Amino acid sequence: MKKVAYIRTSTGKQTLGIEVQKDALKAYQPTHWFIEQVSGRKENREQLNKALDILEEGDTLIVYKLDRLGRSTKQLVNLISQLEDNGIHLNIVTEGIDTSTATGKLIFTILSAVAEMEASLISERTKQALAVSENKGGRPRLDNTTKVKVLEMYQKQVYTVKQMAIKLNISESSIYRILRKFKYKNNKG
C-alpha cells in the first residue's frame, strides 16, 4: 500500500511552508512525495494530478491540512468523492482525520456533508438572486454600435487595445473577441 504525501503552498516565496509540511508528514513515512507551489483555487494542479494518478485502492493520500487540497467547497467535495469512489484513504494531519478508521470516516463524512450543504446553499441563493434580478448572469451583450466603434478605432491604429477598452468602457478581452470575429468573417468572405 502506497502512502502519498501532497504538499502545496501558494507561491514560490513560501519555502518555510513547504518545510513545515514536510516535517509534519515525515512521521507518516510516505512512499511518494508531490510538492508544488500554486494557488489552491487552481483546478488543474500538475503535482496533485500526478499524486492522484498513482493512487490505487487501499492507498493513502496524506496532506498537512484540508485546504492544501483545495480552497473551494466544490473542489474539495469533488476530490473527496473521487478518493472515496476509488477506495483511497485520506489522512489530514492537522485535523487528525484518517479515513481508514471508522471514526475518521465519520468525521470526514460529516465535514463532507457540511461542505456539500454549503455548496447547495450558495447555489440556491444564486438562483434566488437571479430570479429577482434583471441580470440573468453571463457577460452583457455588446451592441452593434460598440462593435463598429471597436473596428473603426482598430483600423485607425491610433489607440492601444487598453486605451480602446477604457474609452469604450468594455474589457480588453471583449475587444479581442470582436477583432477575432471580424477577421474570421473577412477570411471567409
Catalytic residue numbers? 10
Strand spans (E) along 10-59: 32-37
Amino acid identity of residue 38, one-letter, is V
| Whole-angstrom distance, CA of residue 117 vs CA of residue 7 | 27
Class of residue 10 by CB neighbours under 10 A (exposed 0-12, middle 13-18, buried 19+) = middle
Tally of CA atoms within 13 A in the half-sphere of 115 that contains its CB: 20
Give residue 44's Cα distance to chain centre. 7
